Amino acid sequence: MPFFDCHTYLTVASFSSSMRTREQVLDTMQRFDLDAVALISGLGATCDFSNGNRLLREALDDEQGLFGYVTLNVAYPDESLQEQRMYMSKREFVGGVLVGEPGRPVTLVHAREIVNAQRRYGKPILLYAGDTAAVHAAREIAEEFTQIRFILLSMGGDDWRAAVETAKKCLNVNLEMSGNLDADKITVAANAISARRILFGSGLPNGDPSLYRGLLQDSEILTTSDRNRISFDNALALFQINADVE
Amino acid sequence: MNILDINTLFGAYPYQRAESTAETLADVLGKLGVGHALTLSTWGVYYHDMAGNQETLRATQQFTQQLIPVGTVNPLTFWDSGDMLLQLLQTSFSILRLFPHEQGWPIDFEPFHSIVKLLADAPKPQIDRDPTLPRATRGWPLWHDRGVALMVSIDKPGDATVLGRAVADYPAPVILVGTTSTTITEVLTVMNRYEHLILETHRLTIPDGLARMRDAVGADRIVFGSGGAARSTRSALDYVLNSSLTESEQEAVLGGNATSILVGGR
């Protein structure tokens, strides 16, 4: 079964140097049997989004399955629009990821201008949704911009049921499956919104893809086709990537 | 007057837009007559400590006459990097700064205690010291003769008390960064107990608060910091210059005390 890990980082990390450079990312992909990854810049997400995007671009290579997200910081609306113009049309960038003050969810009032501008690129936006508050904030954004696809990273964390409810009501919301490891998570989500809107992701280098591979295997209601969709096909479709990545 | 700003940062912030590149910082310092600044990259605060240290060294190399690099370490991710930290401090940095509030770790935190112990026990490098700062800036690093000085952010009531206990036996000066009108009484109480604690000024707003602090702990235990380039260097500088400290006390606060900490002799 092919795997496209939609939630990974190009970053320096404690206890791991596995995702710091392009070469290390490729080695890590091989080690975990990943066919493609979409990377967030760790530097961009935590501190310096502009330099993060620049360094990330240097590491991407769509022919080797290395895709990325443009980091957009709601504290810098003008500069974020500029980053969108600079990178979003490039095929190795498959979407944007919205960040703001660490530890606080990005809210509609702060994100509106950037999200509005994203409409012209036709690419999805990732929202950190690791807890209940972040899911509710993400839902407000998704409800206002129904023509944009959103990916809720970590699908609500321990409150993944709230993320599933949000995706059920907002048809433009997809769920990335890293985070909580409850055995019934994928089954409940697939029953509620179908396997077509669930994406495989791990959070590498802080999350081990094996954990989420196991979670996927655990879900007995999924057909082989469903599993393929979650592990790979949904990402190709959402990111509009040609299947030759595989 | 040889002014040394002990508290500056350069680089992007994740939550606010600020003109705070190393170039901006150097420019602001030059315009205001601030001769030197201790500084580090925001990468080291918000992204990764060692990546930030590299960025600090890279950026300050362009402004060696003005910017003095400060090292940092994040106890949240501190595991087997003790040797690397010591090597960095002995070859590149003169002072180590820690950010508990910004990084979300408590001061009563075993990894932080481990770092303090590591540094307290570290062999002191044999360095030919010169008590003048310009010479010192050419010859970094210069540890204090009792070890590397520390700068630690405090934010809320209780922080200074816990920090005082954590560094009670630390051999070199420890600078408390971020004292406010809310925490000043606690900070002075703790400073009265531990003589190697130093107070930094950038969040002080009490009218003529510096005179009160001088009376409580002595002007030689106060050092000027601005929080620039994101915060106003001018307002922080004016707070000292417009205080009722004597001229010699102002000189000490604005640079003399910090120089002593950096090159030893305190």
Query: Does the pLDDT of residue A25 top 90, yes or no?
Result: yes
A152 Cα to chain B: minimum distance (Å): 20
* Distance (Å) from the alpha carbon of B54 to chain A's nearest alpha carbon: 12
Tell me which chain B residues have a C-beta less than 8 angstroms from the C-beta of A50: 12
Give the per-residue pLDDT at B127: 53
- Reply yes or no on whether the pLDDT at A243 is more than 70: no
Share of chain A above pLDDT 70, in %: 98
Higher-confidence residue: A162 or B147?
A162
What's the gap in Å between the CA of A99 and the closest CA on chain B? 8
Paired tokens of A157: 């964390």
Query: What number is the average pLDDT over the span B193-216?
Result: 92
ipTM of the complex: 0.77
Q: Residue A7: which pLDDT band, with cuts at 50, 70 and 90?
A: very high
pLDDT band at B122 (very low <50, low <70, confident <90, very high): confident
Please tell me the distance in Å from B207's CA to the nearest CA on chain A: 32
- Please tell me the predicted confidence (pLDDT) of residue A212: 94
Mean pLDDT confidence for B101-106: 95
Find the CB nearest A47 among B17, B43, B77. B43
Nearest residue to B106 via CA among B181, B172, B158, B46: B158
Tokens 């702990």 locate to B217
Report chain B residues whose CB lies below 8 A from the CB of A43.
Answer: 43, 47-48, 51
Report percent pLDDT > 70 for chain B. 91
* Residue A61, pLDDT above cutoff 80: yes
**B17, B76, B104 member nearest A76 (Cβ):** B17
* Cβ-nearest to B46 among A11, A46, A76: A46
Residue B135 — very low, low, confident or very high, per pLDDT cuts 50/70/90? Answer: very low
Nearest CA in chain B to A104: B15
- Under the banding of pLDDT at 50, 70 and 90, the label for residue B143 is low
Q: For residue A213, what pLDDT is reported?
A: 93
Closest chain B CA to residue A103: B104
Task: Check A102 against B11: CB less than 8 A apart.
Answer: no
CB contact under 8 A, A100 and B48: no
Q: Do A47 and B42 touch (CB under 8 A)?
A: yes
pLDDT at A244: 59
Give yes or no for a cis peptide into A13 (omega within 30° of 0).
Answer: no
Q: What is the pLDDT of residue B142?
A: 52
In this complex, which of B17, B47, B79 lies closest to A43 when CB atoms are compared?
B47
- Contact flag A101-B14 (C-beta cutoff 8 Å): yes
Examine the pLDDT at B141 and tell me if it is beyond 80: no
A29-33, A70-74, A232-236, A241-245 — which is least confidently predicted? A241-245
Considering chain B, what is the average pLDDT of its residues? 89
Residue B131 scores a pLDDT above 60: no
Mean pLDDT of A173-191: 94
For the segment A186-211, the average pLDDT, to the nearest whole number, is: 95
Residues of A with CB below 8 A from B14's CB? 46-49, 73, 75, 99-102
Residues composing chain B: 266
Q: Do B14 and A103 touch (CB under 8 A)?
A: no
Full 3-state SS string of chain A:
CCCEEEEEEECCECCECCCCCHHHHHHHHHHCCCCEEEEEEHHHHHCCHHHHHHHHHHHCEHHHCEEEEEEEECCCHHHHHHHHHHHCCCCCEEEEEEECCCCCCCCHHHHHHHHHHHHHHCCCEEEECCCHHHHHHHHHHHHHCCCCCEEEEHHHHHHHHHHHHHHHHCCCEEEECCCCCCCCHHHHHHHHHCHHHEECCCCECCCCHHHHHHHHHHCCCCCHHHHHHHHHHHHHHHHCCCHHHC
For residue B136, is pLDDT > 50? no
Yes or no, beta carbons of A47 and B17 under 8 Å apart: no
Domains of chain A, by residue range, sit at: 4-245
- Of the pLDDT bands very low, low, confident and very high (cuts 50, 70, 90), residue A220 is confident
Cβ contacts of A47 on chain B, cutoff 8 Å: 11-14, 42-43, 45-47
What is the value of pTM for the model shown?
Answer: 0.85
Least Cα separation, residue A10 to chain B (angstroms): 12
Identity of the residue numbered A11: T
Considering only CB atoms, which chain B residues are within 8 Å of A49?
12, 14
pLDDT at B181: 87
The alpha carbon of residue A153 is apart from the nearest alpha carbon of chain B, in Å, by 19
Instruction: Chain B: give the shortest CA distance to residue A212, in Å.
Output: 24
For residue B125, what pLDDT band results from cuts at 50, 70 and 90?
low
Mark yes or no for CB contact A46/B47 under 8 Å.
Answer: yes
Structure-token match 């960064």, residue found: B177
CA distance B30 to B23: 11
pLDDT tens-place string over residues A126-151: 999 999 999 999 999 999 999 999 99
Interface test with B, best of A9, A11, A14, A104 (most B CBs within 10 A): A14
User: Is residue B129 over pLDDT 50?
Assistant: no
Decide which of 1.20.120.160, 3.40.50.410, 3.60.150.10, 3.20.20.140 is the CATH code for A4-245: 3.20.20.140
Residues of A within 8 A of B76 (CB-CB) are 14
Section B106-126 average pLDDT: 89
In angstroms, the CA A33 to CA A2 distance is 8
Helices (H), chain B: 22-32, 43-46, 49-60, 82-91, 100-103, 110-121, 133-138, 159-166, 184-193, 209-217, 233-241, 247-251, 257-263
Is the Cβ of A12 closer than 8 Å to some Cβ of chain B?
Answer: yes
**Is the pLDDT score of B241 beyond 90?**
yes
Select from B12, B16, B77 the Cβ nearest to the Cβ of A48: B12
Confidence category of residue A245, pLDDT binned at 50, 70, 90: low
Domains of chain B by start residue, with CATH: 70-263 (3.20.20.140)
